[in-house]
Structure 1
Amino acid sequence: MTVTTSPEALRQRAYDALAAARARTALLTDCVDDGELTAQHSPLMSPLVWDLAHIPNQEEQWLLRAVGGRAALWPEIDPLYDAFQHPRATRPSLPLLSPREARAYAAEVRDRVLDLLGAARLEGDPLVDAAFAFGMVAQHEQQHDETMLITHQLRRGPAALSAPEPPRPADDAAGLPAEVRVPGGPFTMGTSHDEEPWALDNERPGHVRSVPAFFIDTVPVTCGAYRRFVDDGGYRDPRWWAPEGWAQIRRHGIGAPLFWRYEGGQWLRRRFGVVEPVPDDEPVLHVSWYEADAYARWAGRRLPTEAEWEKAARYDPVSGRSRRYPWGDAEPTPDHANLGQRHLRPAPAGAYPAGASPLGVRQLIGDVWEWTASDFLPYPGFVAFPYREYSEVFFGPGHKVLRGGSFAVAPVACRGTFRNWDLPVRRQIFAGFRTARDAG
């Protein structure tokens, strides 16, 4: 599908994306006091106030300076909010802007950006063509919103956020097949600027990839299924673990997903300040790549490769083309997927039948990020754009690919080609998985 949009429609899309991201940033930061904003709730994460100023600093650098050619508003703070200069654990020691100063800075930058958006030519230069830079900045803010939501999950104390429960499956999810066969052969993986103007550099270029036939789980692995692995002694048996994973769980005494604890004869979990029984029918969450890989081995299966995941999510066997999303080319709605922090948990396995792929695989978009077996590597013909530090510096065997997005991901930052990556030890992220097996 090639996206052709008028300048007026592009401007409105960019305006809406920027406004939605800023509203979510406010929701995540206005719900706690200044003490909570400046505290570091975990050495794994920045203080919320760092994100509160980093977001407009990046917006200023890319839109006001790079696109608009404007002078820097506050150049001396650039080093403070450079994510590559300062690891998260050390950011509380920096002379950061106060919450009041960060909010005032963000408001000033946004006012000037909206003036720029109203006058900018959205064609020609690759940075502005189809409003790419504006879309990139909106996606960046939403990605930090997800990071801030992770910080909310890690913080102690009473809940600061609330949201309605996600929908139950609209049909008989219990009758779904356990797995779906995906035919072998070629398909188009990735995308292009013409097809997906706001796609980021690691999603490009589109290229033909071929995979043998395979089976993939119809739904993500549930807490109930994962609990059987835990109860069967999965965390005490080195047979299931990659050597680095076995060393990691032994070193840290890990025996269950993050935030789980066994108490009073049942498994409980802490979720955004609330302690509750672990729901058996919900996709498992807060597991590392090593835990996902160990479960898959225990179950006699494996994690899907990134190419297998994308073929299951996008390939239409009738037309032979790759869709933007599992359900088609239309933008996601609340009927398709659990996205955008509408809910503060994954929906039960089997939900969102309207979001199923042509082959019948469900919940490929939203609910939980899904670990794949693949290292984060460039596609053939990859070109870094607009800066190496977005993707290129992370390529290699140190990072594993996650696909599909979680309930914490905004629609603007989630599509069938979107690639996420992280270290295989990461557990605080909203990650789960599904398994696969060869078709034989």
Structure 2
Amino acid sequence: MNAHPTPGDATTALASSRQRTLALTDCLDEDELLRQHSPLMSPLVWDLAHVGNQEEIWLVREAGRLPALRPDLDRLYDAFRHPRAARPALPLLPPDAARRYLRQVRERALEVLDAAVFDTEDGRSADGQDPLLARGFVFGMVAQHEQQHAETMLATHQLRSGPAVLDAPPPPPAGPDATALPREVLVPGGPFTMGTDTDPWALDNERPAHTVDLAPFWLDTVPVSNADYQEFIEDGGYADPRRWSPQGWAHRQRAGLEAPLFWQRDGRAWLRRRFGRTEPVPPSEPVLHVCWYEAEAYAHWAGRRLPTEAEWEKAARHDPATGRSRRHPWGDADPAPDHANLGQRHLQPAPVGSYPAGAAPSGARQLIGDVWEWTSSDFLPYPGFTAFPYPEYSEVFFGPDYKVLRGGSFGVDPVACRGTFRNWDHPIRRQIFSGFRTARDVTPGEAR
């Protein structure tokens, strides 16, 4: 997204998010949309109407000051009022009614967009402009919200049983240099700018920009692969409490963890289930569907650690040649297909070492796309944080109960993925498209 989005950018973002929502729901019959495929997830029909309700609240009512279309739906589709496990018992809109509601809301939202003024000619926000409308923020927020639900709905598809209904071509193979990459890259110490004050559609938890001073560290060049993770399994990693934190070991025992979610043994080999298909686990792909405790245990087994959130962002954004922080690892340009695996184009991670055009100045690859990467950090506010436009987006989640994930997965859209974007979840979660890479401190005598 450029620094000064246009109404055309907002139109494109809203249309793309709706196209994704419908593609993930129109492929299933009414029974499948109404069913709860896992207590961890909502019925897909709930997501379908929820994104419309949020669009009505923020674009039609708040930004457009237009009369409410369906105020009776606000409580029904309030994510904080009804936990996911309880949503099937609610009087939800049936699929056809939900789709009609989406169309009605979008018609009104586009009326608001047609009348909106994003910026003055010199790129500044108009004097006295509602901050929701400045640089089209509210349109970007709503598009991101719907795309985030599209990734959640994709996770529901992965959890559902039954025949496959989604299909996509595999990602391209890694280039010839992938096997020659160094295992780790050195990220120099010193200050860098973390977060942003300038990205027009950045969300509240990405702000404000602030300086963080880090010691030098080593970071894996690529995410941990399935082959790497199988070594941990075969070495008894799941059976050795010395590899786990006390909390992690207690969870491993309680949940019966023995391998990543959706893996199963087939003799000496491993198979996985992926969107209704069973296939061999590809050794060169980043490991997927592991929780934070599993990532932590692997890192300890490997004699390493998970990077902090600040370390991850410095490796992804800091350019030592200029001293500035980029929007993405490759620069400020929007993601292109040769930069990263995003947007549900492939429905699986690309092999490790892919996307050399998307490499960061540090030399690390695939920091954006493929898999969300667990960090060691709790989800906390940045210094000077201000909730906007409502505390329930970020503020209510701050604290030690949530760990930060960075980078985005193949299931996330580019509009909801950038070098400053912060995701978070409970450390036990595995249904999300999560992987990781490891880090280590620079030891005395190593290059600095």
Scaled by the length of structure 2, what TM-score is found? Answer: 0.96
The within-5 A match list for 1:89-100 is 89-100=85-96
**2:194 is equivalent to residue 198 of structure 1:** no
Match of 1:82 in 2: 78
Q: Is the 8 A contact 1:303 1:436 kept in 2?
A: yes
> CA separation in 1, counterparts of 2:440 and 2:267?
37
Q: Percent identity?
A: 68
Match of 2:155 in 1: 150
> CA separation in 2, counterparts of 1:92 and 1:213?
50
**2:357 is equivalent to residue 354 of structure 1:** yes
> CA separation in 1, counterparts of 2:175 and 2:300?
32
> CA separation in 1, counterparts of 2:362 and 2:309?
17
Match of 1:407 in 2: 410
Scaled by the length of structure 1, what TM-score is found? Answer: 0.98
Offset at residue 295 of structure 1 (A): 0.2
CA RMSD of aligned residues (A): 0.9
**2:128 is equivalent to residue 132 of structure 1:** no
SS in 2 for 1:246: helix
Gaps of 5+ in 1: none
Match of 2:12 in 1: 16
1:219 to 215, 218, 222: 222
The residue type paired with residue 269 of structure 1 is R
**2:187 is equivalent to residue 178 of structure 1:** no
Q: Is the 8 A contact 2:3 2:200 kept in 1?
A: no
Gaps of 5+ in 2: 119-125, 444-448
> CA separation in 2, counterparts of 1:258 and 1:40?
19
SS in 2 for 1:205: coil
The within-5 A match list for 1:227-246 is 227-246=230-249
> CA separation in 2, counterparts of 1:351 and 1:438?
26
Q: Is the 8 A contact 2:317 2:325 kept in 1?
A: yes
SS in 2 for 1:80: coil
**Residues 240-290 of structure 1, C-alpha deviations (whole Å, 9 max, x = no match):** 111111111111211000000112321111000010111110000000000
SS in 1 for 2:230: helix
2:260 to 257, 260, 277: 257
Q: Is the 8 A contact 1:171 1:353 kept in 2?
A: no
Match of 2:115 in 1: 119
Structure with the bigger percentage of helix: 1
> CA separation in 2, counterparts of 1:171 and 1:202?
39
SS in 2 for 1:234: coil
Offset at residue 72 of structure 1 (A): 1.3
Distance 1:204-1:51 versus aligned 2 partners, 3 A rule: same
Offset at residue 4 of structure 1 (A): 4.5
SS in 2 for 1:31: coil
Match of 1:159 in 2: 164
> CA separation in 2, counterparts of 1:107 and 1:322?
40
Where has structure 1 moved over 6 Å in runs of 4 or more?
none
Match of 1:63 in 2: 59
Distance 1:329-1:421 versus aligned 2 partners, 3 A rule: same
1:109 to 105, 111, 122: 105
**2:23 is equivalent to residue 27 of structure 1:** yes
Range with bigger deviation, 231-240 or 130-139: 231-240
SS in 1 for 2:370: coil
> CA separation in 1, counterparts of 2:3 and 2:329?
21
Q: Is the 8 A contact 1:364 1:404 kept in 2?
A: yes
Q: Is the 8 A contact 2:349 2:371 kept in 1?
A: yes
Q: Is the 8 A contact 2:372 2:408 kept in 1?
A: yes
Q: Is the 8 A contact 1:14 1:135 kept in 2?
A: yes
